[in-house]
Amino acid sequence: MLNGERVLLRPIARQDLPEIWRLLEDLEVAVRSDAGPIHPVSLARYEARFDREAADPSKDEAWFVIEVDGRAIGQGGLYRIDHFNRRCELGIALGRVHWGKGFGQDAVRTLVGYAFEYLSMNRVSLQVLAEDPRAVGAYRKAGFVEEGRLRQQGWVRGRFHDELLMSILRDEWESTGESHPEPAGN
């Protein structure tokens, strides 16, 4: 488990699934956090996927529940973890009622610290809808730099939208003086 300033990141447990499902299957959340077509996913499918991944864990992913005051508010993680090239991608999704409160930014900073400090990554990247100023601003505040624009990359609500490619490098993170994520209980 990792302590941020305001959030706790911990492994996802089976008992978290109903709340995560409720928060993340909100259509507005799904549109902003899923790069593919938006299809409703049942709780049973969440549970089946969890059971498969628990039986055969992936070495190129690390997903966490984002918790505030003992309640799950979303999930975030690192994926496409490439230990040879020391790079990974970051993804995060919060329930809509938790947007704009700084929890996502804190979770992102904690995930970035985990990537650099505990996984020895050199680069963390992400893609975000260019027309989502709340998310883009939060990533910038967490130290991410825009590297490029992927024109008409995503199909959202009946039309194509640009996505921004953003990243943060280890030396940029170290130069900010960001605190390193602390294991919970310390």
Three-state DSSP at 125 gives: strand
Query: In this predicted structure, which of 38-42, 95-99, 152-156 has the lowest mean pLDDT?
Result: 38-42
Structure tokens at 131: 């027309």
pLDDT at position 56 is 84
Average pLDDT, the chain: 89
CA dihedral over 107, 167, 20, 12, signed as positive or negative: negative
pLDDT at position 36 is 65
Q: What is the pTM of this model?
A: 0.88
**Residue 119 above 80 pLDDT?**
yes
Alpha-carbon distance of 28 to 33, in angstroms, equals 9
The CA-atom distances, in angstroms, between 98 and each of 17, 38, 74, 115, 133 are 18, 21, 9, 24, 16
For the chain, domains (ranges, CATH) are 2-183 (3.40.630.30)
**How many C-beta atoms lie closer than 10 Å to residue 124's C-beta?**
28
pLDDT at position 129 is 92
| pLDDT classification of 111: cutoffs 50, 70, 90 | very high
* Burial class of residue 139 (count of CB atoms within 10 Å of its CB; 0-12, 13-18, 19+): buried
